[in-house]
Structure 1
Amino acid sequence: MERSGGGDPQETLRLLWRSSQARSGRGRPPKVSLDKIVAAAMELADRDGLETMTMDRVAAALDVGTMTLYTHVPGKTELVDLMLDAAWQELDLVSTSDNWRQQVELYAHRAVESHKRHPWLRMASTTRPPLGPGLFARENFLIAALSTTGLSPSDVGAATGAIVTFVESAAAVQAEHAHGERLSGQSDDDWWAARQVFWETIFDPERYSAIAQTWDQGGFDRSAAEAAAKAFDLGLRALLDGIAAMAQPN
């Protein structure tokens, strides 16, 4: 598990907001740019996982020496922050709707797609997030949407946090199913089929009667990926219903 926000604060903020001074016209132009470094790192992490993304491998992908990267970014810690914020910027949260619920749903579904493109997102803890433009664009979008509900400013902040926590966690679960199947080469159906003996010889329907009854009534008649998607839709709907109920005048 990588943790964001662990690098030098001043340097990380400078990189996130691209606030370095412009280069002079002297000398040769750099072989790579910061944006190219971030893109290459994301591509490696997308394919092989965040834990295998190293400065050496990024340099090799860009056909430059590793020391060249260090002239742009201090190390992997800061690079992960840049990758995270770049992924958040990809959400491109511009809505044509003035309905707060539709705006939140737009964010939710784009977050799901982002996790599918970048399954490594689930491997980065953002409890101390990189304070970049991607993060602030997401937060501002959600706060602006929820501010139209009539909730108090305190509840708007809490609701924003609840939405982000649920959406990012549930989106990661959905991405995990697809990514796990790709890495293992084994489908969820094949994985469960290999464990059919559990249901035949170990599972006790009397001891776990609620599970057995729900099973008999078709409550589990879907694949693991389908179940995760349904859980996401149900959870999001319930969360937004709850926010809507809180916003109603007494």
Structure 2
Amino acid sequence: MNQDYTGSGDPAKSLELLWRRRPQPTRGPKPGLSVEGIVEAALRIADAEGVAGMSMRRVADGLGVGAMTLYRYVPGKGELLDVMLDTVYGELPRRAVDGGWRARLDEVARQNRELYLRHPWMLQVAVSRPPLGPRVMAKYEYELAAVEGTGLTDLEMDATVALVNGYVHGAVRTAVEARQVVQRSGISDKEWWLAHVPHLDRISDARNFPLATRVGTAVGNQFDAPYDADHAFEYGLERLLDGVSALVENRSGPKR
């Protein structure tokens, strides 16, 4: 379970920060400090060590100030986390895509996947209460536009966007975990697989596990590994979009 979550700070103070309505200190030992600079420092720590390694004191140390100085700009970690997430959502390109809703929704999934892979710490933060900042709102607007005009109701549009984002979140979590295994073990998936291959004939039991043996062998031969994150993502995304397609066609007739 995620141990950090957005919306944990004071709502009024968080919104003031997100929309930059919070008055900034005019006096203090570090006049050049800003919310933007604090967020950048926090993001560097989170990208390198995860959210667990990011504390107000760590951020203050990185900026060369005392922790109490930080509180003059940001009330606490909860509000800071809201602004961090809103900030990284601003990295989404929101590219225009030729084609219909399926191409647009496919692009939404890929953009979110790229963002998670750049900032894996986002997977450690629960966002059931999203920070209602300008970049979060822009993201939501862009993603809803992907299915606007398809005949779906407003609730179905929201649920479809949530479905795609939820799929990407789960798929990327598995991909990041697989990448971390390689980094921590120092052994690639191919090396791990090839080290096991010589022993598989001795331990495999095709008579009792015919499907597992046949399918597992096919996967291993194809990817030199028991799992391929890119293939799994592509396959799952296509099947998900097939499901949305069935709903759209039910609402408005064949439409791609």
* TM-score interval, smaller chain: 0.7 to 0.9
State the partner residue of 1:6. Answer: 8
Distance in 1, Cα, partners of 2:219 & 2:28:
67
Distance in 2, Cα, partners of 1:225 & 1:197:
15
State the partner residue of 1:95. Answer: 96
State the partner residue of 1:46. Answer: 47
Summarize the Cα distance change of 1:10–1:224 in structure 2 as closer, same or farther, 3 Å threshold: farther
Residue identity matched to 1:244: S
Summarize the Cα distance change of 1:161–1:234 in structure 2 as closer, same or farther, 3 Å threshold: same
Deviates more, 1:179-188 or 1:53-62: 179-188
Runs of 5+ unmatched residues, structure 1: none
**Residue 219 (structure 2) pairs with residue 219 (structure 1):** yes
Distance in 2, Cα, partners of 1:43 & 1:225:
33
How far off its partner does 1:209 sit?
2.5
Distance in 2, Cα, partners of 1:213 & 1:150:
43
Q: Percent identity?
A: 35
Residue identity matched to 2:219: G
Alignment of 1:122-141 (within 5 A): 122-141=123-142
Map Cα deviations across residues 39-80 of structure 1 (whole Å, 9 max, x no partner): 111111111221111112111111222111111111222222
Summarize the Cα distance change of 1:63–1:190 in structure 2 as closer, same or farther, 3 Å threshold: farther
Distance in 2, Cα, partners of 1:224 & 1:88:
33
Residue identity matched to 1:137: A
Alignment of 1:126-165 (within 5 A): 126-165=127-166
State the partner residue of 1:208. Answer: 209
Runs of 5+ unmatched residues, structure 2: none
Contact 1:103–1:145 under 8 Å retained in 2: yes
Number of corresponding residues: 248
Deviates more, 1:30-39 or 1:200-209: 200-209
**Residue 36 (structure 2) pairs with residue 35 (structure 1):** yes
Distance in 2, Cα, partners of 1:206 & 1:31:
72
TM-score (norm 1): 0.86
Alignment of 1:5-84 (within 5 A): 5-21=7-23, 30-84=31-85
Map Cα deviations across residues 102-121 of structure 1 (whole Å, 9 max, x no partner): 22222211212211211111
